[in-house]
Amino acid sequence: MKKLFVLLTIILIIASCSKPKEKTTASNSYKLIQAAAQKSFATLPETMPGSEKGSPELIELGKKLYFEKRLSFNNTMSCNSCHVLDNNKAGVDNLPTSPGAKKGTHGTRNSPTVLNAGFQFAQFWDGREPDLASQAKGPILNPVEMGMPSKHAVEKKLAKISEYKNLFKKAFPKDGKITFERITNAIAAFERTLITHDRFDDFLSGNIKALSNEEIEGLDLFIKNACTTCHTGSLLGGNMYQKMGLMKPYKNNKDLGRFEVTKKESDKFVFKVPTLRNIALTGPYFHDGGVSSLKEAVILMGDIQLGKKITETDADKIVKFLNSLTDKKLASIK
């Protein structure tokens, strides 16, 4: 009887010791992945560069202008038409390329998200503008997009609207003058408030339980497959240029990318690396909106950018991780 009691005691001790060991091993492994992530990525800052210039009145004006269709020549298009913020959208229209104000016209490139855009080192796919205020000028005067004929025409149009006279007086109390520069500066002030908050930031801040096991494993694969060659920092992108088709050509060889700005041969097919924040909501993907599925985009990037074959199983896990980059409010609505 004593021998049986001793034997049972030993079995219970072994069982109780072995289970926590497994948990500890998995936990330690995930902590190592977390540490690796903290070296490659950063949490999104609480404020965007330039936000100190934005008074509540300027932001209010900018928000009104962002949704203002009268900034287009035929009163049909606003900033929000292509970079949709209402209807629980993530700052995009989810189209390969966006229709313009003139019937039958389309832009030549995919409309990127406006969320967190002010953290990027340059604006537009080809980086032709340095900041949000400069970016806002382009679409308003672009004949394919909003189609206004001139800066003066924009100023004249808004000056006839009494509501804007009052809003400009509040935002610019000195003289209340309506100018094109002030219009785009106000839009930029509003856009600087569009900062998202996701579970990945919580994970980077130390909360290992912020991500599921599958998401952490996907993050591990993202790092091990060298996706961090381009997708790093607080935005997981948006901080460098890269050739589209580094190892193998991309299917679209018509758009020459940054070459159209610099005319340098080395800039052919070079584009700004997009942010991966909210990527699960911002398809279709790439500068031409040429890929509809995030999983397909992951596999294609492995192939033409890294020269790696990412399996379907691994791609599924990486997509799980990418879903953790979705803003919490948008994720709860989804």
Q: Where are the alpha helices (DSSP H) in 263-327?
A: 294-304, 312-323
CA distances from 35 to 168, 256, 301, 333 (A): 48, 38, 25, 31
Question: Per-residue pLDDT averaged across 84-96, rounded?
Answer: 96
Q: Does residue 209 contact residue 219 with C-beta atoms inside 8 Å?
A: no
Q: Does residue 111 contact residue 98 with C-beta atoms inside 8 Å?
A: yes
Rounded to whole angstroms, how far apart are CA atoms 313 and 325? Answer: 20
Would you place residue 163 in the very low, low, confident or very high pLDDT band (cuts 50, 70, 90)? very high
> Over the stretch 58-67, which tens digit does the pLDDT of each residue have?
999 999 999 9
Which residue, chain included where needed, has tokens 């097919």? 269
Determine the pLDDT at residue 266: 98
Determine the pLDDT at residue 283: 98
Determine the pLDDT at residue 150: 98
- Examine the residue annotation and report whether 145 is marked as an active-site residue of this protein: yes
Catalytic residue (choose from 145, 191, 215, 217): 145
160 has pLDDT over 60? yes
CA distances from 254 to 15, 94, 257, 287, 288 (A): 64, 22, 9, 12, 10
Determine the pLDDT at residue 26: 66
Question: Per-residue pLDDT averaged across 167-195, rounded?
Answer: 98
Q: Provide DSSP, 88-131.
A: T--SS--SSS-B-SSTT-B-SS-----TTGGGSSSBSTT--BSS
Q: Which of 164, 165, 141, 139 lies closest to 151, judged by CA?
A: 141
Specify the DSSP element, H or E, that contains 241. Answer: strand 241-243
Strand partners, 41: 233
Question: Per-residue pLDDT averaged across 2-24, rounded?
Answer: 48
Pick the CATH number of 51-191 from 2.40.240.10, 3.30.365.10, 3.40.1190.20, 1.10.760.10: 1.10.760.10
Question: Per-residue pLDDT averaged across 280-308, rounded?
Answer: 98
Burial 69-89 (b: 16+ CB within 10 A, else e): ebbbbeebbbbbbbbbbeeeb
Question: Per-residue pLDDT averaged across 157-166, rounded?
Answer: 97
Give the dihedral of Cα atoms 159, 78, 66, 61; nearest 10 deg.
20
Three-state SS at 172:
coil
Would you place residue 10 in the very low, low, confident or very high pLDDT band (cuts 50, 70, 90)? very low
The one-letter code for the residue type at 166 is: N
Q: What is the CATH number of domain 33-46+197-333?
A: 1.10.760.10
**Residues forming CATH 1.10.760.10 domain(s) in the chain:** 33-46+197-333, 51-191
